[in-house]
Amino acid sequence: MREFTPENVRLSEDGRSVVILDQRKLPNRVEYLTLSTAEEMYDAIKSLAVRGAPAIGICAGYSIYCLAQKVETENFNTFYGQFKKDKDYLDSSRPTAVNLSWALNRMEKLVLKNKEKAVSEIICLMGAEAKKIQQEDMEMCKNISEYGLSLLKDGDGVLTHCNAGPLATSRYGTAIGPMILGHERGMNFRVFADETRPLLQGARLTSYELYRAGVDVTLICDNMASLVMKNGWVQACFVGCDRIAANGDAANKIGTSGVAILAKHYGIPMYVLGPTSTIDMNCKTGDEIVIELREEDEIRSKYYKEPMALPEIKCYNPAFDVTDHELITAIVTEKGICRAPYRESLAKLFESNAE
Ligand code: MRU
């Protein structure tokens, strides 16, 4: 049995920096980056050295903890002023994945709740909270994988888009987790990984992870998904998510909504898998989700030996799209499987947690 458990985000030995597996270099090189300054942390998130909604949240938790250790004061207001500055700066690195602001807001809540304590004590609590975010993510991924696995049967073909595996989260991942977990239990799946233009998360990361975990994987270009579905090779589509609105509209990597439209055409169930930390109940519908626009050169020249379009050619490069809730068969969370009407089923997930 092959196991793939990358240490994608962790604290350095001295606990003062964040160490990440540089996802930009995969699959050709396994290199780690040590992030010590706010700028290094911001750049790592922005440039996708660390990526995937939950992994970004985990990285943000550790980052704000490391930055807090640099503030040399015992005065709470001075400490909080710098904390806010660092928090807002990190939060501005990428707009779409809610896990980034979710993790930072969670850290802020902790800081404010403990404002009567000594600053050194608050910093200690921040370290414990950041580790908790990662620990919880590990457990959530396992639960999501269990629920996701219950939707599959041995021998199924699954199509996935982008990367929602161990690299993007903690162990197992979300959309990839069910197949890894099932494989560990002796089941066999055939996964089709969309290469995911323009940054190739499917080619560089998903096919790498599944191969390393021993799961049968076939890489396809994004425009081959329709044929693969028509051939009858896909029994379910499993994708991750970056922000789910209260009505079930789900933002994920650009191209996901196209997969959902194809799946509907071919009568294939479309499942969105993600932790409840990716559900944004303050966001009423997908129209409110801010879609990150990235540099044109990612389309023109990134990953090519030489540019594939003239520099004068205009490009449009949104990093995400929103899949309409009507195209989603179910949303799989660590707390259970939600089905339409999503306003009710998603709201129920938060009822017992109401503060
Ligand atoms: O731009 P990326 O690579 O960060 O986009 C990632 C995705 O769209 C993932 O599907 C999503 O974050 C879920 S990861 C469990």
281-325 tens-digit pLDDT? 999 999 999 999 999 999 999 999 999 999 999 999 999 999 999
Distance 254 CA to ligand 1 centre (A): 10
pLDDT confidence band for 5 (50 / 70 / 90): confident
- List the residue whose alpha carbon is closest to atom 6 of ligand 1: 52
Measured CA to CA in angstroms, residue 182 lies from 6, 93, 115, 146 at distances of 19, 35, 46, 9
What is the CA(279)–ligand 1 centre distance, in A? 14
- pLDDT for the residue 333: 98
- Note the pLDDT tens digit of each residue in 167-216: 999 889 999 999 999 999 999 999 999 999 999 999 999 999 999 999 99
Angle between helix 53-70 and 38-46 (nearest 10): 170
Distance CA 244, CA 346 (A): 10
Distance CA 338, CA 333 (A): 8
pLDDT at residue number 277: 92
Specify the pLDDT at position 137: 96
Given this model, what pLDDT does residue 171 score? 83
Ligand 1 touching residue 168 (CB < 6 A): yes
Q: What is the pTM of this model?
A: 0.96
Please give the number of the atom of ligand 1 that sits closest to the Cα of 175. Answer: 15
* pLDDT for residue 355: 42
Neighbours of 89 (CB within 10 A): 15
Q: What is the pLDDT of residues 60-117, one digit of tens each?
A: 999 999 999 999 999 999 999 999 999 999 999 999 999 999 999 999 999 999 999 9
Q: Which of 156, 242, 249, 321 is catalytic?
A: 242
Is residue 212 lining ligand 1, measured as CB closer than 6 Å?
Answer: no
CA angle 118, 101, 142 (to 5 degrees): 100
3-state secondary structure the chain: CCCCCCCCEEECCCCCCEEEECCCCCCCCCCEEEECCHHHHHHHHHCCCCCCHHHHHHHHHHHHHHHHHHCCCCCHHHHHHHHHHHHHHHHCCCCCCHHHHHHHHHHHHHHHHCCCCCHHHHHHHHHHHHHHHHHHHHHHHHHHHHHHHCCCCCCCEEEECCCCCHHHCCCCCCCCHHHHHHHHCCCCCEEEEECCCCCCHHHHHHHHHHHHHCCEEEEECHHHHHHHHHCCCCCEEEECCCEEECCCCEEEECCHHHHHHHHHHHCCCEEEECCHHHEECCCCCHHHCCCCECCCHHHHCCCCCCCCCCCCCCCCCECEEEECHHHCCEEEECCEEECCCHHHHHHHHHHCCCC
Q: What is the pLDDT of residue 353?
A: 54
Question: CA-CA distance, 191 to 211, in Å (whole number)?
Answer: 10
Quote the CA–CA distance of 123 and 196 in Å, as a whole number: 40
- 121 pLDDT higher than 80: yes
Q: What is the pLDDT of residue 45?
A: 98
Residue 328: pLDDT over 90: yes
Neighbouring-strand partners of residue 330: 271
Please indicate whether residue 242 is annotated as part of the active site. Answer: yes
Residue of 145, 242, 280, 331 to test ligand 1 pocket, by largest number of atoms within 8 Å of CB: 242
CA distances from 24 to 126, 177, 191 (A): 29, 22, 23
Sign of the four-CA dihedral 320, 26, 239, 135: negative
- Ligand 1 atom at shortest distance from the alpha carbon of 52: 12
**pLDDT, tens digit (0-9, with 9 covering 90-100), for 237-278:** 999 999 999 999 999 999 999 999 999 999 999 999 999 999
Angle at 276 between CA 275 and CA 278, to 5 degrees: 75
The position carrying tokens 């809730």 is 325
Q: 157 and 233 in contact (C-beta within 8 Å)?
A: yes
Q: What is the number of other CB atoms lying within 10 angstroms of the CB of residue 105?
A: 14
Q: Which pLDDT score, from 0 to 100, does residue 1 have?
A: 62
Nearest to 255 by CA among 325, 323, 206: 323
